[in-house]
């Protein structure tokens, strides 16, 4: 299984750039440290002026190359790092003949391999280890250095062990960095998505608040409209209670007959009589009193609910119409209203008690001689009995 995580090209470039930036900082520290050590070496060697090569002169040249690498670092990092590693290899190679007296000189190749792996990667570490191995192998024929096989083998082992260690560390480091970078990229994507979802949520909440506000206004408007509708129904009921039955008053009859007279269909205005229950007869009371308007009268419940109007509208006009036609007004008891309703129902005319009282009034007018039997009379029955079924059950003593 490949331990290095897959990264998109853009992410890989960004990771490489970040690694170069970190390596450049490390390179700067190494250059400063190397410059300080080389300067210290020059100072220590310079007291031996005659020991120029490979003495303080070599260290002076290496110090100069360190300055060149520092100058190149900002322009071309890989070139500067490669030059620095080559400089270290060459400087140590010059001092290899001293390994006869100082065996630790050969071990200095190992830190160079480690530096190459740190600055340029594991591939550079292996190439540096190979170059160091060639330097150890060629020291005797080229430089005349006398290196024992055991010392050479130990130096080569240390060099390649360092190379393998650098590869393992670098590999693990790059793998960890890759994972960390991938997690960072995923975290940034998740953060962007979270911010996007948060923005959508804020917008949705704002829309919800607006919808709630509109809903509240609609509910308020609906409540207001319902209250207005209830008020309208109450006013309609009051109007119907006070006016609907007034449409059957003598005023309307007079108007109708006047239209017939103007049309030449009748020659005279017929007499008009109003019939009301004794429990509520304001028109009959005012007519009997000879008043021009309403008079005080006692009011009680009646089964003739359609004429149970204590204060009829246009009382003056009603009285004038009755008197103008030569008619009058009579009142009927509750018992006779009930009897008249049953009598009409038995004759096949199922009307409400309000209309049935007309029959009782007609009978009284006949008995009083106000209306002669041979005269033509019209009894106006306008209310169906279906809506008064509870009243008929009450009259008959039937429980519904």
| Adjacent-strand bridge partners of 328 | 273
- Length reported for the chain: 400
135 with 281, same domain: the answer is: no
Residue 54, preceding bond cis, omega within 30 degrees?
yes
DSSP 322: H
Structural domain including 279 reads: 249-396
- Is 76 part of any domain? yes
275 with 184, same domain: the answer is: no
Closest residue by Cα to residue 167 from 216, 227, 121: 121
- H or E element at residue 331: strand 328-332
SS3 of 363-379: HHHHHHCCCCCCCCCCC
| pLDDT by residue, tens only, the chain of 400 residues | 344 444 454 455 665 666 667 777 777 787 787 777 777 766 666 555 444 445 556 777 777 877 888 787 778 888 888 888 888 888 777 877 776 677 777 888 888 888 888 888 888 888 888 888 888 888 777 777 777 788 888 888 888 888 888 788 777 766 776 777 677 778 888 888 888 888 888 888 889 888 888 888 888 888 888 888 888 777 655 554 444 454 455 667 777 777 888 888 888 888 889 999 999 989 999 899 999 888 988 889 888 888 888 888 888 888 888 888 888 999 999 899 889 988 998 898 888 888 889 999 999 999 999 999 998 888 888 778 777 777 777 776 766 5
164 with 275, same domain: the answer is: no
Q: Provide the token pair at 218.
A: 């609609």
Q: Domain ends where: 194, 217, 236?
A: 194
pLDDT at 3: 43
Q: How far apart are CA 346 and CA 348, in angstroms?
A: 5
Region of 175 please: left (phi>0), alpha (psi -120 to 50) or beta: alpha
- Is 199 part of any domain? no
159 with 262, same domain: the answer is: no
270 with 133, same domain: the answer is: no
- Is 224 part of any domain? no
- Is 229 part of any domain? no
- Is 214 part of any domain? no
256 with 350, same domain: the answer is: yes
CATH number at residue 387: 3.40.50.1100
Q: Provide the token pair at 125.
A: 């570490």
Is residue 328 a contact partner of residue 273, using CB atoms and an 8 Å limit?
yes
Question: String of b and e for 93-123 (b: at least 16 CB within 10 Å)?
Answer: bbbbbebeeeeebbbbbbebbbbbbbbbbbe
Number of domains in the chain: 2
44 with 190, same domain: the answer is: yes
- Is 126 part of any domain? yes
Helix ranges (DSSP H) in the chain: 9-45, 57-73, 77-94, 104-107, 109-120, 122-143, 149-243, 250-262, 282-288, 315-324, 334-346, 353-368, 389-396
What is the distance of C-alpha 345 from the center of its chain? Answer: 67
279 with 189, same domain: the answer is: no
pLDDT at 330: 93
Q: How far apart are CA 274 and CA 254, in angstroms?
A: 12
Please tell me the number of Cα atoms within 13 Å of 351 on its side-chain side: 22
279 with 136, same domain: the answer is: no
Q: Domain ends where: 156, 177, 194?
A: 194
Q: Domain ends where: 129, 163, 194?
A: 194
289 with 146, same domain: the answer is: no
Is residue 128 a contact partner of residue 163, using CB atoms and an 8 Å limit?
yes
Residue with tokens 């897959």: 6
- Is 345 part of any domain? yes
At residue 326, what are phi and psi to the nearest 5 degrees? 80, 15
254 with 182, same domain: the answer is: no
- Is 3 part of any domain? no
27 with 166, same domain: the answer is: yes
């Amino acid at each position: 299984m490949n331990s290095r995580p897959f990264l998109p090209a853009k992410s890989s470039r960004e990771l490489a750039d970040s690694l170069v930036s970190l390596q450049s900082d490390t390179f700067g520290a190494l250059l400063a440290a190397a410059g300080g050590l080389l300067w210290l070496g020059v100072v220590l060697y310079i007291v031996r002026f005659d020991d120029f090569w490979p003495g303080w002169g070599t260290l002076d040249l290496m110090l100069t190359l360190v300055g060149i690498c520092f100058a190149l670092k900002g322009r071309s990092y890989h070139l500067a790092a490669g030059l620095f590693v080559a400089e270290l290899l060459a400087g140590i190679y010059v001092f290899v003949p001293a390994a006869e007296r100082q065996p630790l000189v050969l071990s200095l190749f190992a830190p160079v391999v480690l530096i190459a792996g740190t600055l340029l990667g594991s591939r550079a570490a292996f190439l540096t280890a190979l170059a160091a191995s060639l330097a150890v192998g060629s020291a005797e024929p080229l430089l005349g250095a006398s290196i024992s096989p055991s010392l050479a083998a130990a130096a080569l082992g240390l060099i390649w062990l360092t190379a393998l260690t650098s590869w393992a560390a670098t590999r693990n480091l790059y793998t960890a960095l890759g994972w960390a970078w991938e997690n960072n990229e995923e975290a940034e994507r998740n953060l962007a998505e979270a911010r996007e979802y948060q923005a959508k949520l804020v917008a949705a909440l704002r829309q919800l608040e607006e919808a709630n506000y509109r809903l509240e206004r609609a509910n308020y408007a609906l409540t207001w409209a319902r209250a207005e509708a209830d008020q309208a129904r109450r006013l309609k009921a009051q109007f119907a209670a006070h006016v609907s039955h007034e449409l059957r008053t003598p005023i309307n009859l007079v108007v109708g007959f006047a239209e017939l007279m103007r049309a030449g269909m009748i020659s005279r205005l017929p007499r008009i009589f109003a019939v009301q229950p004794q429990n509520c007869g304001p028109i009959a009371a005012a007519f009997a009193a000879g008043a021009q308007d309403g008079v005080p009268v006692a009011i009680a419940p009646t089964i003739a609910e359609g004429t149970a109007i204590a204060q009829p509208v246009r009382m003056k006009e009603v009285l004038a119409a009755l008197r103008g036609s030569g008619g009058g007004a009579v009142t009927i008891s509750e018992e006779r209203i009930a009897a008249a309703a049953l009598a009409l129902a038995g004759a096949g005319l199922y009307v409400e008690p309000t209309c049935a009282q007309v029959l009782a009034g007609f009978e009284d007018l006949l008995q009083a001689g106000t209306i002669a039997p041979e005269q033509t009379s019209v009894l106006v029955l306008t209310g169906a009995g279906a809506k008064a079924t509870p009243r008929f059950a009450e009259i008959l003593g039937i429980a519904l």
